[in-house]
Copies of this chain bind each other. A is one copy, B any other.
Amino acid sequence: MQELKDRILRDGKNLGGGILKVDGFINHQVDPVLMDACGKEFARRFRSIDATKVLTAEISGIAPALTTAYHLGLPVVYARKSKPITMPDQVFLTLTPSHTKGRTVELIVSPEFLAGGERILIIDDFLASGATILGLVRLAQTAGAVIAAIGALIEKSFEGGRAVLAELGVPIESLAVVSAMEGDQIIFEGD
């Protein structure tokens, strides 16, 4: 998606160590018009998979998942990283390593909002190692739901997440695929 790539080139920054800083438009300050356009594009690509729900992980996944769900006319659930007091005692919980936090985090979904038979579209901001998305896959499968497709705003193809998720045999779409970052250079796949 050219609009997202252009924005990454303009405002993204390679911090080294595989970290791409996009907190000026995606995950601290957010550009709602760009997020809406990304949601519209995900909806276009995933219209035919007949998902019943969008699933993401707090926090950075919420904006693109919300706009995607809006354009598909679906509810969205975000997995929590800590259990609020409004959640029942019995929950779906999985552990996943967090790249940007340097530790293991919990992903928790209430059984009230993830049920057997649902067709789940997973949306997140990044597809890197695939660890977070795989955590969401485990949660959905534990609930007896089916993974219908996976979408990420930005894929860092050099971290190998796509291969990890490939065995699921579902469509995987990224709106911008970064194949390498060298100094000030952010290089997209196919460029």
Q: Judge if A138 is at the interface, Cβ distance under 8 Å.
A: no
A19: B residues at CB distance < 8 A? 85-86
Q: Judge if A116 is at the interface, Cβ distance under 8 Å.
A: no
Contact B101 A23 (CB under 8 A): no
Contact B30 A73 (CB under 8 A): no
A76-95 at interface with B (beta carbon < 8 Å): 76-78, 80, 82, 84-87
Q: Judge if A117 is at the interface, Cβ distance under 8 Å.
A: no
- Report copies per complex: 2
Complex Cα distance A132/B141, Å?
Answer: 36
Contact B23 A110 (CB under 8 A): yes
A32: B residues at CB distance < 8 A? 66-67, 69-70, 74-76
Contact flag A84-B62 (CB < 8 Å), given A78-B28, A113-B24: no
Contact A100 B75 (CB under 8 A): no
By the criterion of a CB under 8 Å from any partner CB, how many residues of chain A are at the interface? 42
A105 → B minimal CB distance (Å): 10
A70: B residues at CB distance < 8 A? 32-33, 35-36
Contact B66 A30 (CB under 8 A): yes
Q: Judge if A3 is at the interface, Cβ distance under 8 Å.
A: no
Q: Judge if A148 is at the interface, Cβ distance under 8 Å.
A: no
Contact A112 B24 (CB under 8 A): yes
A34-91 at interface with B (beta carbon < 8 Å): 35-36, 58-59, 62-63, 66-67, 69-70, 73-78, 80, 82, 84-87
9 CB < 8 A contacts A-B: A22-B86, A30-B62, A30-B76, A31-B75, A32-B66, A32-B69, A58-B58, A62-B63, A85-B102
